[in-house]
Structure 1
Amino acid sequence: MKSSNPVLSRLGRAAEQQRTGYGAYGPPGEPGYGQPYPTAAYPAAPPAVQPMTIDDVVVKTVTLLGLTGIAAIAAWNLIPDGYMGAAWIGAAVVGLVLGLIISFSRMANPALVVTYAVVEGVFVGMVSKTYQEFLGYSGIVLQAVVATFGVFFLMAALYKFKVIRATPRFTRGMIAAIGGLFALMLINFVLSLFGFHTGLRDNGAVGIIFSLVCIVVASLSFILDFDQIEQGIRMGLPQRYSWTAAFGILVGLIWLYLEILRLLSYLQGSSRD
């Protein structure tokens, strides 16, 4: 199946040249395209890079999750309460910048991805500690973690058994939905700076509905990740791009976790009233 993602298509063609070592001679479509045909004098070049596999993506994803978890636990226990606000804001800003750089970069950069995982771990740790210890939502962190991974594995099963597929229409709809949600979040944040409250992030009916919509969209975003991984493996992208694939899953898991955490706080807050 031909990829509908132009970036993946370009990376796939580049990966093919890297693997085969084909240069600039020979007719298009033939084995010798890009260099002289292999002969005794000019043997075929050995593969220059290894293509990524699903095992590569799994290992990298587990590695990033481990780093994020360790950073979150360390931040929770080591950062003094008086510096929590600064650590929260600093990690959020640095994580956003790193995420944008990684997302728009055409080359996989493992060092940036690993740094992102650690920085986001600090952010997640600060947010989690605030909810559980300072706002008094007992057990909320464990509940959110279990729910997050439960949703992730459910979406993986739905994709594996082809219950949900990343069709072109589905992909366009998801891109529009994600863009729309983040635009609403940004507008809500800017308005809140001027004292206007839309209710999108308040403990009320509007806030609960908005969180549920975010959870659904965040969950469905994994379908796009799984599809890109499948296409990348089919195209033979270099092994280093498994870091980029793992980064996409990590971003989705963090977003889903934060939305579930927020929704649980709404529900627990309602039960206190």
Structure 2
Amino acid sequence: MRTSNPIFSRWSAARGAGPAGTYQREPVRATVGAQPTDDYPTNPYGSPADTDKPAGSTTVTMDDVVVRTATTLGAVALTAVLSWLLLPVDEANLGRSYGVALGGGLAAVVLSLVQAFRRAPAPALILGYAAFEGVFLGVLSSTVSSYLAPGVVVQAVLGTFAVSAGTLLAYRMRWIRVTQRFAGFVVAAATGFLLLLFADLLFSGFGAGHGLGFHSGGLGIAFGALGIVLGAAFLALDFKQVEDAVAYGAPREEAWLAAFGLTMTLVWIYLEVLRVLTIFNSDS
């Protein structure tokens, strides 16, 4: 199946089409471990120029994905730690730290959008996104730990690992079946989730106190839990994309796109876990 991850879908569609968008390969049947897949009538990573090229060192492997994902997440972690240490959130430096964090967050959004609309991955853009995202997360985490819920950041990191490991186990055991219907449902649910977040920001910005109430109490915890579930669902879509890329002999550059998508999903999960734990610790 084609992924519904917005980072992958446009690039995969472009790879599968010929100059006029009509290129088709012979139907393929890929086997991943003991699970054969018939999700595509044609190879989604094929193109007229490479029909006679044998599979070889230019095709992506699971090791490629692991290495590039570790590199991207490492960049996030490194800049997060540095921003935590170098951008204190005490009264004397609060404005400067928040300003740098806001700038880092905006830069991360811009770089992610630029990469999302490219047909091929740019490692510099992806690593740049990871670095700026880390700056934002570092200051945010430091603020939460200092003023709202001390010690919650370690819990959020462990919670993110737990959600990721649980999703991977469920995917490998085929308890989660990633189908077109599943992908469509996840995208629709995530769209509604983001619209609610936007409405909450609008209500908060126009003086409606705590907005729609997603920042505290049982409603806040429930909304954050929904965000974690959606993040896990997107992680399953990412796993499916990686599995298909390896099975169908995608080009090695696909590993950078996989790392990009996985990093974005893990950041989403971390933020939602942090939200839930912060509310829980604040209300207890």
Distance 1:11 1:234 in 2: 16
Count of residue correspondences: 247
Per the alignment, in what secondary structure is the counterpart of residue 116 of structure 1? helix
Q: Is the 8 A contact 1:84 1:126 kept in 2?
A: yes
Q: Is contact 2:55–2:249 with CA below 8 Å preserved after alignment?
A: no
Question: Deviation of residue 13 (structure 1)?
Answer: 6.3
Partner of 1:234: 247
Separation of aligned partners in 1, 2:10 and 2:255: 18
Q: Deviations over 1:92-121 (max 9, x none)?
A: 211111122222322111110000110010
Unmatched 5+ residue regions in structure 1? 23-30, 32-44
Alignment partner, residue 40 of structure 1: none
Contact 1:8–1:232 (8 Å) recurs in 2 = no
2:105 aligned residue: 92
Aligned twin of 1:156:
168
Mapped partners of 2:153, 2:79: distance in 1? 15
- Residue 87 of structure 2 contacts residue 97 of structure 2 at CA under 8 Å; is this kept in 1? yes
Alignment partner for residue 158 of structure 2, among 122, 136, 146?
A: 146
Matches within 5 A, 1:113-132: 113-132=126-145
Secondary structure of 1:119's counterpart equals helix
CA distance in 2, matches of 1:201, 1:126: 22
1:76 to 79, 84, 91: 84
The structure with more radius of gyration: 1
Question: Which aligned pairs between 1:1-273 and structure 2 lie closer than 5 A?
Answer: 3=2, 7-12=11-16, 16-17=46-47, 20=50, 50-81=58-89, 82=93, 83-135=96-148, 137-196=149-208, 197-271=210-284
TM-score using structure 2 length: 0.80
Contact persistence 1:51–1:236 (CA under 8 A): yes
CA 1:150/1:55 → structure 2, altered by over 3 Å: closer, same or farther?
A: same
SS of 2:168's partner is helix
Quick check: 1:218–1:252 contact (8 Å CA) kept in 2?
yes
Percent identical residues: 34
Q: 2:112 is aligned with what amino acid?
A: G
- C-alpha deviation, 1:80, in angstroms: 4.2
Cα offset, 1:8, TM superposition: 2.3
Q: d(CA) in 2 for partners of 1:13 and 1:52? A: 20
> How big is the shift at 1:186?
1.3
- Cα root mean square deviation, aligned: 2.3
In structure 1, C-alpha distance between the alignment counterparts of 2:76 and 2:10, rounded to whole Å: 31
